[in-house]
Amino acid sequence: MNYTALIENRRSVREFADTEVRFDQLDILRRYYQHQVRRLIPELKTQLYFFGTDTRAALEGAAGYNQFLVGSPQYLVLMSEAHPQAGLNAGYIMEDLILKLTDMDLNSCWMTFTDSEMVKEALGIVSDLHVAAIAAFGYGKKSTRRLRLNFRSMSDVDIVAKHRYMEPKKGISQLVFRETWGNTHKVLDSIGFYEDMLWEAFYAASLSPSYLNRQAYGFLLHDGRITLVSTPDDYTPETDGSLSLGIVLLHFSAVAEKWGGKIKWQFGERAAKPELPEGYQAVASCIL
């Protein structure tokens, strides 16, 4: 897949035609998940469920901003075993599926949820795994005007959220720093040969979908490494924050790996420990 082009073309679609996605297309996606999908932590057990037109009523109240569900004929639900990096891994896998959908000319939208058990019960999923990520998908309608008006009539928090959701995304200069957090001086100058590759990979990262478009993260280039840092954000719940971090890792890695081969990310305790402002956290790092 041409990730740079797919990443540029993808956007969240919130209105879908009633037409169900054809069986042969679902089969392509199922096989992609089984054999090709990018996984951040391959040994982590996951399972993908497909749900059709009858699911919307069942999911109502269990998923979507303020339980406001995107109307869609179909949903993907990714289940995962518990693990400290389960959210990152689920964000990474589901975003790769979303880019595969984009490649197949299908539209999609990430869906938030708060309670795995509630979603499992609503959908009749019997599994030891927990719900890790949900996305709506189908054939998008051209206009999103009506849904934007619906956002306007929600509670105060959602009015704030709505402004965020409409905001343009942060660019590379607001996301990538050198040596110390906030330092943008000569960010890409010092890395010579890798400059073009890294620019394209950071550009892909800057276009990542994130919860309420908050982009509560950034990258630090330091000590011959790249470290993904999560930034404090009162609006982003933990689950959505982890998924958003997994998504940004997928965007960065899928593009950077075109040149450099497989990136080995180290997480948690094994990630680099650059000096960061209070509340900021090193999530994953790799050698440049």
Ligand X SMILES: Cc1cc2nc3c(=O)[nH]c(=O)nc-3n(C[C@H](O)[C@H](O)[C@H](O)COP(=O)(O)O)c2cc1C
Closest separation between CB of residue 288 and ligand X, Å? 27
216 DSSP β-pair partners: none
For residue 18, give both structure tokens.
Answer: 């009633």
Q: Using CB under 6 A, which of 212, 216, 249, 282 touches ligand X?
A: 212
Q: How far apart are CA 94 and CA 79, in angstroms?
A: 10
Which residue stretch of 72-80, 96-104, 187-195, 237-245 sits at the interface with ligand X (rule: CB under 6 A)? 237-245
Chosen residue from 74, 210, 227, 231 binding ligand X by CB under 6 A: 210
Please give the Cα distance from 144 to 71 (Å, whole number): 12
Are the CB atoms for 178 and 185 separated by under 8 Å?
yes
Task: Select the span of 72-80, 191-199, 241-249, 276-284 touching ligand X (CB under 6 A).
Answer: 241-249
Residue 59 makes CB contacts below 8 A (sequence gap 6+) with 51, 69, 75, 119, 122, 123
Sheet-wide strand order for 281-287: 176-178, 217-222, 225-230, 281-287, 266-267
Rounded least distance, CB 4 to ligand X, Å: 15
CB atoms within 10 A of CB 234: 6
Candidates 2, 5, 11, 84; binder of ligand X (CB under 6 A) is: 11
What is the H or E stretch that residue 151 is in?
Answer: helix 145-152
Per-residue contact string for residues 62-101; x = within reach of ligand X by CB under 6 A: --xx----x-------------------------------
Residue 106: Cβ-neighbour burial (10 angstroms; 0-12, 13-18, 19+): buried
* Binding track over 106-145 against ligand X, x by CB under 6 A: ---xxxx---------------------------------
Among 1, 4, 12, 56, binds ligand X (CB under 6 A): 12
Which residue, 84 or 277, has its beta carbon nearer to ligand X? 84
* 57 membership: H or E segment, kind and range: helix 55-59
Q: Which of 3, 6, 7, 14 contacts ligand X by CB under 6 A?
A: 14
Task: Please tell me the distance from the alpha carbon of residue 77 to that of residue 130, in angstroms, as a whole number.
Answer: 10
Nearer to ligand X, 6 or 111 (CB): 111
Q: Residues in the site for ligand X, rule: CB under 6 A?
A: 11-12, 14, 64-65, 70, 109-112, 165, 209-213, 240, 243-244, 247
